Amino acid sequence: MEITILGSGTSTGVPEVGCTCSVCKSSDPHDNRLRASALIKTKGINILIDCGPDFREQMLHSKYARLDGVLITHEHYDHVGGIDDLRPFCRFGEVPLYTEESTAHRLRSRMPYCFAEHKYPGVPQISITDIKSGVPFYIDQVKILPIRVLHGKCPILGYRIENIAYITDMLTMPDEEYGKLKGLDCLIMNALREEPHITHQNLKQAIENAKRIGAKQTWFIHMSHHIGLHAEIEKQLPPNIHFAYDRLVIKP
């Protein structure tokens, strides 16, 4: 299995427009963060997690190949704003999206031309399959288990894919979900900043949850510029917990 972190930033990205803080002005490429997304390659299958507004730019630096499935965590623009840019990947055939019914309904409402019965030429050839938290499904031979997490009070999805898990925008997780994350080789999870936030984990909460889940390795994503300079804040983390960065390739 190979996991490429396409984007490790929060909704505004880093640098944030108009900001002159030390992180936004940093020349360290680890401090430049596009909106959060990941590409997973396993058993000959390519799976994209979220498709935000930076998707086109992210894929210009990635090998062009068929996408066998796109897992959508939730409807917020920084996670779905690039769906129309799936068009070049439709040359390989229809690109299937997977998400829960409520998110699917909102995507169809916002982008009806993508899901019309009779599409005009050039529209991305995509479909949506409704999935449910706690009910596993397969993309080819790859087993995927949707995990319920709470983005503030908003229920969204994380995903366990074989022995790795990807969780973004989480503030809390119901107790019964932790058991579904046992035995992970790799956990990719959000850590917004050091200060508390009303809808996302801060760094302290993320470290506590990483320890509770107990993956062999944990990589934090969805960081804002408030997290601090990568080179400095990385030193505060336990040995098996790291800050991810754009274009990082993880091979669990």
CATH number of the structural domain spanning residue 182 = 3.60.15.10
Burial of 58 (0-12, 13-18, 19+ CB in 10 A): buried
Mean pLDDT of 72-88: 97
**pLDDT for residue 75 is more than 90:** yes
* pLDDT-based confidence at residue 239 (cuts at 50, 70, 90): very high
**pLDDT for residue 67 is more than 90:** yes
**62 is in which domain, residue-wise?**
2-250
**pLDDT for residue 107 is more than 90:** yes
pLDDT value of position 92: 96
Using a CB cutoff of 8 Å and minimum separation of 24, what contacts does 230-234 make? 230/26, 230/28, 230/30, 230/31, 231/28, 231/30, 233/203
Distance CA 14, CA 133 (A): 31
Do 178 and 162 form a contact (C-beta atoms < 8 A)? no
Structurally, the chain folds into a number of domains equal to 1
pTM greater than 0.85 (yes/no):
yes
The tokens for 234 are: 């990385």
For the chain, how are helix, strand and coil distributed in percent, rounded to 5? 25, 30, 45
Do 46 and 40 form a contact (C-beta atoms < 8 A)? yes
**pLDDT for residue 119 is more than 90:** no
**Residue scoring higher pLDDT (236 or 74):** 74
pLDDT value of position 16: 97
Q: Are strands 126-131 and 186-190 parallel, antiparallel or unpaired?
A: unpaired
DSSP 61: T
DSSP string for residues in 103-130: HHHHHHHH-GGGS-SSPPTTS--EEEEE
Q: What is the pLDDT of residues 49-65, one digit of tens each?
A: 999 999 999 999 999 99
